[in-house]
């Protein structure tokens, strides 16, 4: 009786588990993918088929080896009275186990080398883009057209801290995506500014280390317009998981329009540095820049985080000689979290944020750091 009850409970538990698994299976595992993805370029497809060829070779070897082993274990077991044969230095066996692996390795190396050769051939590119890894963002410089911008994580902090619902492209969205035209060979010159990063876009089968002082090359010829996402693939510090990559492949016409827009906006920025700025104008722009680029460490109220990020409010350096203050913001402090903002911000943005620091939070010096002055320093 007792046994009946417990086996009944066990059975009903198994039934419930089965029903539960059945229900969660379609919703939870719908976009599960165990295999490598095929990607969207000729190269990514040949990488994929290479992967499949090698995979099947491994499967065949495993089946043969484990098959022979299992068969021997079962049919030549001791209880059946099997007696091991005792032979040494059998020339035929030794030749066979040398030749067969060589043939297998050559069979793998031939298609692998052909694919590698294609991947490494970055010659005759239509567009060259320098990709630079920074802690923790990417910089894209279009070498022919002079377009130059930073691309950083756009996921709102509330989502990261679990205060709001995570959206579909959580941690895979940026403010300024890399834009390239469809059907053109785009060469990437990949390097880094501080530590080693790695530029990885799985759909293009591009994953290249970005190493300070070195330039690695890779390329892509996208076949379809669309948005492709990737990540930094080299552990590069505390925000390594927060420097995603987004590539927008546009039609040739849309790409040309985008390029024109960028060039115009850049020219505008350069022109704005020549304009005469009032204190009020600089304070408005300065506050925007401060909130976006500085407040994460120095805090919105300028009081910093004791022991980690110094207070700017009331800091003798900020209150003192402008030269030293400007120097810290433009060139950073080597070996600390205070990075150089020289390339990350325009002359106007730099002048505005420095002016803002000197006049916000109640310590008003009333002085203006002019964009034209910073523009000269930047050259």
Q: Which residues lie near Cu ion (CB under 5 A)?
A: 197, 232, 236
- Rounded Cα distance, 153 and 176, in Å: 9
- Rounded Cα distance, 240 and 238, in Å: 6
Identify which of residues 190 and 351 has a Cβ nearer to Cu ion in the complex.
190
Classified as helix, coil or strand, 116 is helix
Helix or strand (DSSP H, E) at 200: strand 197-201
| Smallest separation, CB 144 to ligand HEC (Å) | 30
Sign of dihedral through CA atoms 321, 322, 323, 328?
A: positive
- Rounded Cα distance, 204 and 131, in Å: 15
| Smallest separation, CB 218 to ligand HEC (Å) | 29
Residue 217's DSSP bridge partners are: 189
Structure-token pair, residue 217 = 């090359």
Kindly give, in sequence order, each residue whose CB lies less than 8 Å from that of residue 324, ignoring residues fewer than 6 positions away. 317
Residues found near ligand HEC in the complex (CB under 6 A): 293-294, 296-298, 309-310, 312, 315, 317-318, 325, 328-329, 333, 336-338, 341, 353, 357
Identify which of residues 200 and 290 has a Cβ nearer to Cu ion in the complex.
200
Identify which of residues 38 and 194 has a Cβ nearer to ligand HEC in the complex.
194
State yes or no: cis peptide before 102, omega within 30 of 0.
no
- Rounded Cα distance, 159 and 171, in Å: 9
| Smallest separation, CB 208 to Cu ion (Å) | 12
Q: Which does 129 bind (CB under 5 to 8 A by kind): Cu ion, ligand HEC, none?
A: none
| Smallest separation, CB 315 to ligand HEC (Å) | 3
Classified as helix, coil or strand, 252 is helix
Whether the CB-CB separation of 371 and 352 falls below 8 Å is answered with yes
Identify which of residues 148 and 288 has a Cβ nearer to ligand HEC in the complex.
288
| Smallest separation, CB 268 to ligand HEC (Å) | 21
Q: Which does 325 bind (CB under 5 to 8 A by kind): ligand HEC, Cu ion, none?
A: ligand HEC
Q: Which does 236 bind (CB under 5 to 8 A by kind): Cu ion, ligand HEC, none?
A: Cu ion
| Smallest separation, CB 290 to ligand HEC (Å) | 6
- DSSP-assigned letter for residue 79: G
Identify which of residues 236 and 312 has a Cβ nearer to Cu ion in the complex.
236
Identify which of residues 44 and 346 has a Cβ nearer to ligand HEC in the complex.
346
Query: Concatenated DSSP letters for 230-250?
Result: EEE-S--STTGGG--EEEEEE
Q: Which does 275 bind (CB under 5 to 8 A by kind): ligand HEC, Cu ion, none?
A: none
| Smallest separation, CB 317 to Cu ion (Å) | 30
Identify which of residues 182 and 297 has a Cβ nearer to ligand HEC in the complex.
297
């Amino acid at each position: 009786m007792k046994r009946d009850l417990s086996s009944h409970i066990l059975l009903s538990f198994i039934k419930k588990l089965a029903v539960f698994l059945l229900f969660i299976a379609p919703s939870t595992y719908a976009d599960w993918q165990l295999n490598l993805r095929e990607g969207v370029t000729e190269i990514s497809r040949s990488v994929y088929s290479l992967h499949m060829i090698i995979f099947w070779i491994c499967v065949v070897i495993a089946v043969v080896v484990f098959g022979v082993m299992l068969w021997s274990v079962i049919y030549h077991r001791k209880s059946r009275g099997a007696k091991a044969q005792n032979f040494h230095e059998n020339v035929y066996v030794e030749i066979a186990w040398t030749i067969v692996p060589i043939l297998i390795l050559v069979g793998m190396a031939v298609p692998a080398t052909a694919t590698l050769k294609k991947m490494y051939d970055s010659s005759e590119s239509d567009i060259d883009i320098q990709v630079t890894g920074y802690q923790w963002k990417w910089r894209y410089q279009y070498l022919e057209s002079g377009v130059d911008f930073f691309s950083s994580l756009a996921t709102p902090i509330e989502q990261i801290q679990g205060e709001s619902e995570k959206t579909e492209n959580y941690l895979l969205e940026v403010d300024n995506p890399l834009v390239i035209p469809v059907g053109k060979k785009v060469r990437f010159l990949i390097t880094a500014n501080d530590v080693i990063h790695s530029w990885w876009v799985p759909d293009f089968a591009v994953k290249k280390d970005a190493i300070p002082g070195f330039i690695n090359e890779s390329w892509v010829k996208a076949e379809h317009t669309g948005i492709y996402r990737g990540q930094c693939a080299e552990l590069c510090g505390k925000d390594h998981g927060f420097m995603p990559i987004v590539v927008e492949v546009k039609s040739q016409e849309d790409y040309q329009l985008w390029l024109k827009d960028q060039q115009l906006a850049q020219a505008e920025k350069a022109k704005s540095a020549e304009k005469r700025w009032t204190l009020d104008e600089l304070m408005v722009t300065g506050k925007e820049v401060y909130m976006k680029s500085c407040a994460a460490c120095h805090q919105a109220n300028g009081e910093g985080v004791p022991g980690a990020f110094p207070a700017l409010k009331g800091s003798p350096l900020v209150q003192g000689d402008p030269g030293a203050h400007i120097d810290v913001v433009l060139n950073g402090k080597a070996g600390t979290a205070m990075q150089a903002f020289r390339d990350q911000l325009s002359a106007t943005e730099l002048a505005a944020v420095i002016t803002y620091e000197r006049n916000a939070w109640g310590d008003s010096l009333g002085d203006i750091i002019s964009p034209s002055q910073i523009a000269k320093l930047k050259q």
